[in-house]
Amino acid sequence: MKLKKKIKKSSNYNKLPIWDLKDFYIDINDNQIFKDINDIKNKSKNFQKKYEGNVKNLSSKKLLTAIVQLEKIDEKKAKILSYAYLLYAANIEDKKNKIFLQKIQEKITTLNSLIIFFNLELNLIPINKINKHLNSKILKKYKNWIKISLSYKSHQLEKNLERLIQEKKITSSFSWSRLFDETIANLRFNFEKKELSFTEISKYLTDKNHIKRKNASLVIGEVLKKNINIFTTISNVLAKDKDIDDKWRNFKEPISSRNLSNVVEDRVIDALTFSVKKYYPKISHRYYSLKARWFNKKQIIYWDRNAPLPFQQNKKYSWNDAKSIVLKAYKSFSPEMHAIAEKFFEKKWIDAQIRKGKQGGAFSASTIPSIHPYILINYQGTLRDVSTLAHELGHGIHQYLASFQGYYNASTPLTLAETASVFGEMLTFKYLLNNEENKLRKKILLANKVEDMINTVVRQIAFLEFEKKLHNKRKTSELSTEEICNLWIDVQSDSLGPYVKIKDNYKYYWSYIPHFIHSPFYVYAYAFGDCMVNSLYSVYEKSPKGFEKKYLQLLKSGGSRNYRELLDTFNFNPTKIKFWSNGLDVISKFIDELENI
Ligand SMILES: [Zn+2]
């Protein structure tokens, strides 16, 4: 019986789909790749010859011609880069792929410098003339694209300075990030007589066994403590480096440059942060008090934060189960989305297989409009994996729908980038919940969802608060390790609340979080997406009539319009606290339900 089961399991794993990248090129020796690179080179050189120093003199019609040419050049670059990146992700241990990706990246970076002048010059067009362009029907399609370029105007430096900063990055901020990555990668954790990497030991933080969780947490704290001086230095240097940049570029707050690149106003993020913090007691504090009760404790300890529930049952879902659940969930909402989702399965746009060397995690790569998105996931059959499939398919459907806007208009700013993905997860969650009759399993589904949401919303906003404090302090002076630890403990105890006990070396846990190093202030993106989708979903539940059409319109718009205009169609105003609390109420109501089960 056991043997039979085993055989069945392994054959199921073999059946997991692998993507087919032939829609790009046959393989890395395909002659078309070299032809495409040459074409980009020639077209970029011609473009530079024709337009450098001349952008301000162009008529609207000629400006349109230039933008269309540039878009084609950029799209072709994205085609080769996407291909190289996906090949690499499919097997990061294959040296051939790694070298190919590096070679392509370097080639494209060099080619980029030929056309870097265009946006800099575009931003220098006198205001009267640029307004004429913006109001001209001829340039309507690229209006938003031009506006986004212009939003950098008051933060850009003179051409040679920009080039210098770009080149110097290799030896400044980039090298500090690299030092961080290398330090983390080299950390070794002695655990149960084995030497583990950080990724390997992290898995034990969600182990069923309390002792294992505890020991893993203690070892992590111990190792971080040993290496803390280097993390303190890296954090200080990078925060100061950013401060210098911000001063030169005229940014008001440390967060402002991130908001600009996300096309979102500072006050919108202020409203989000304020609302989430106000909901800490209603959401995370209340949930952890429940969790403590389930464990028969007054307080859980920080290593129990992500502990599996004492009544957790880990149901396994085969690939076909997952496919059918997610497709049904999408179908119940929108036949159009369902039809697109089906393409991903039928046309080999998904790589779900687990194999040695494949990149971990999951993503959906938009690639370019003339091809289609590709999804990578590592499917192991857990509930989380089903959710991840729904999430990435949401991205894929969104990217597919937006691709009809053309390359420049297809990519959505971060404010909307997580909409379809999180919405798809919600559809799937609701589908599972509504089809579950067993009370205990309903409770498990709900509790898992709430925990996910707390990790996405509350934890990320606590991270954001930590970053704000750190960057603001660093403006005036270097921070000691103790000072950074204190900031961390403050935001953690605020957000986790009185039912989670923080002690020992948890104060060093800020030091391993890669977002702080690689993309400061990025973390709020997760909370933004989750809260916005919760608001959207509650509108849909209250009045489903006509919702699908409006929602699809939002997805199809891609990045062609400002997100505020798109949210307007739902009467949403993200500068208002009310908008965010509507979203947060969704989580709070799930906790009400949990309290009553
Ligand atoms: Zn996502």
From the CA of 282, how far away is ligand 1's center (Å)?
26
Within this chain, do residues 266 and 145 fall inside the same structural domain, yes or no?
no
From the CA of 567, how far away is ligand 1's center (Å)?
19
DSSP state at residue 313: -
Backbone angles phi, psi at 462, to 5 degrees: -65, -40
CA 236 vs CA 294, 307, 374, 478: distances in Å: 41, 33, 38, 6
Q: What is the pLDDT of residue 5?
A: 39
How many domains would you assign to the chain?
A: 2
From the CA of 438, how far away is ligand 1's center (Å)?
30
From the CA of 277, how far away is ligand 1's center (Å)?
23
**Domain's final residue, options 168, 201, 233:** 168
Averaged pLDDT for residues 250-257: 96
Q: What is the pLDDT of residue 105?
A: 86
Residue 596 lies in a domain: yes
Within this chain, do residues 159 and 44 fall inside the same structural domain, yes or no?
yes
Spatial distance between the Cα atoms of 226 and 547, rounded to a whole number of angstroms: 54
Q: How far is CA 367 from the centre of its chain?
A: 16
From the CA of 420, how far away is ligand 1's center (Å)?
9
Do residues 122 and 70 make contact, with C-beta atoms less than 8 angstroms apart?
no
Helix (H) / strand (E) containing 525: helix 524-542
Within this chain, do residues 541 and 423 fall inside the same structural domain, yes or no?
yes
Alpha helices in 15-158, H assignment, sequence order: 31-51, 60-90, 95-115, 117-122, 127-135, 143-150
Backbone angles phi, psi at 572, to 5 degrees: -95, 135
From the CA of 228, how far away is ligand 1's center (Å)?
31
From the CA of 583, how far away is ligand 1's center (Å)?
18
Spatial distance between the Cα atoms of 274 and 567, rounded to a whole number of angstroms: 20
Q: What is the pLDDT of residue 543?
A: 87
DSSP 21-37: GGGT-SSTT-HHHHHHH
Within this chain, do residues 427 and 560 fall inside the same structural domain, yes or no?
yes
Residue 367 lies in a domain: no
Range of the domain at 69: 21-168
From the CA of 391, how far away is ligand 1's center (Å)?
6
Q: How far is CA 568 from the centre of its chain?
A: 24
Q: Does the pLDDT of residue 314 top 90, yes or no?
A: no
**Domain's final residue, options 168, 197, 225:** 168
DSSP 465-498: HHHHHHHHHHHHSPPPHHHHHHHHHHHHHHHH-T
CA angle 408–412–413, rounded 5-degree value: 110
Q: What is the pLDDT of residue 6?
A: 40
From the CA of 308, how far away is ligand 1's center (Å)?
24
Within this chain, do residues 146 and 285 fall inside the same structural domain, yes or no?
no
Spatial distance between the Cα atoms of 501 and 298, rounded to a whole number of angstroms: 10
Spatial distance between the Cα atoms of 440 and 524, rounded to a whole number of angstroms: 33
Residue 54 lies in a domain: yes
Q: Does the pLDDT of residue 85 top 60, yes or no?
A: yes
From the CA of 467, how far away is ligand 1's center (Å)?
22
Q: What is the pLDDT of residue 10?
A: 43
- Write the single-letter amino acid at 429: F
From the CA of 387, how far away is ligand 1's center (Å)?
11
From the CA of 360, how far away is ligand 1's center (Å)?
15
From the CA of 395, how far away is ligand 1's center (Å)?
7
> pLDDT per residue over 450-508, tens digit each?
999 999 999 999 999 999 999 999 999 999 999 999 999 999 999 999 999 999 899 99
The mean pLDDT value of the chain amounts to: 93
Residue 375 lies in a domain: no
Within this chain, do residues 418 and 537 fall inside the same structural domain, yes or no?
yes
Helix (DSSP H) and strand (DSSP E) numbers for the chain? 29, 7
Q: Does the pLDDT of residue 553 top 90, yes or no?
A: yes
Spatial distance between the Cα atoms of 527 and 491, rounded to a whole number of angstroms: 16
From the CA of 192, how far away is ligand 1's center (Å)?
35
Within this chain, do residues 160 and 274 fall inside the same structural domain, yes or no?
no
Averaged pLDDT for residues 330-340: 97
Q: What is the pLDDT of residue 504?
A: 84
Strand partners, 501: 301
Residue 191 lies in a domain: no
From the CA of 452, how far away is ligand 1's center (Å)?
13
Spatial distance between the Cα atoms of 247 and 310, rounded to a whole number of angstroms: 51
Q: Which residues, 6+ apart, have CB-to-CB distance to 531 below 8 Å?
A: 272, 275, 276, 457, 580, 583, 584
Q: How confident is the model at residue 14 (pLDDT cuts 50, 70, 90)?
A: low
Q: Where are the beta strands (DSSP E) in 224-362?
A: 300-301, 350-351
From the CA of 44, how far away is ligand 1's center (Å)?
33
Helix (H) / strand (E) containing 375: strand 374-376
Within this chain, do residues 126 and 274 fall inside the same structural domain, yes or no?
no
DSSP state at residue 187: -
Q: Where are the beta strands (DSSP E) in 157-223?
A: 189-191, 194-196
Q: How confident is the model at residue 418 (pLDDT cuts 50, 70, 90)?
A: confident
Q: Does the pLDDT of residue 518 top 50, yes or no?
A: yes
Share of the chain above pLDDT 70, in %: 98
CA dihedral 571, 573, 574, 576 (to 10 degrees): -130
DSSP state at residue 284: I
Residue 362 lies in a domain: no
Residue 117 lies in a domain: yes
**Domain's final residue, options 168, 187, 202:** 168
> pLDDT per residue over 39-71, tens digit each?
999 999 999 999 999 999 999 999 999 999 999
From the CA of 525, how far away is ligand 1's center (Å)?
10
From the CA of 433, how far away is ligand 1's center (Å)?
22
From the CA of 522, how far away is ligand 1's center (Å)?
13
Do residues 545 and 474 make contact, with C-beta atoms less than 8 angstroms apart?
no
> pLDDT per residue over 281-306, tens digit each?
999 999 999 999 999 999 999 999 99
Q: Does the pLDDT of residue 580 top 90, yes or no?
A: yes
Q: What is the pLDDT of residue 414?
A: 80
From the CA of 448, how far away is ligand 1's center (Å)?
18
Residue 337 lies in a domain: no
Residue 262 belongs to a domain with what CATH number? 1.10.1370.20
Residue 72 belongs to a domain with what CATH number? 1.20.140.70
From the CA of 421, how far away is ligand 1's center (Å)?
6
Q: What is the pLDDT of residue 517?
A: 95
User: Crossing angle of helices 143-150/127-135, nearest 10°?
Assistant: 160
CA angle 481–484–490, rounded 5-degree value: 140
Spatial distance between the Cα atoms of 418 and 394, rounded to a whole number of angstroms: 9
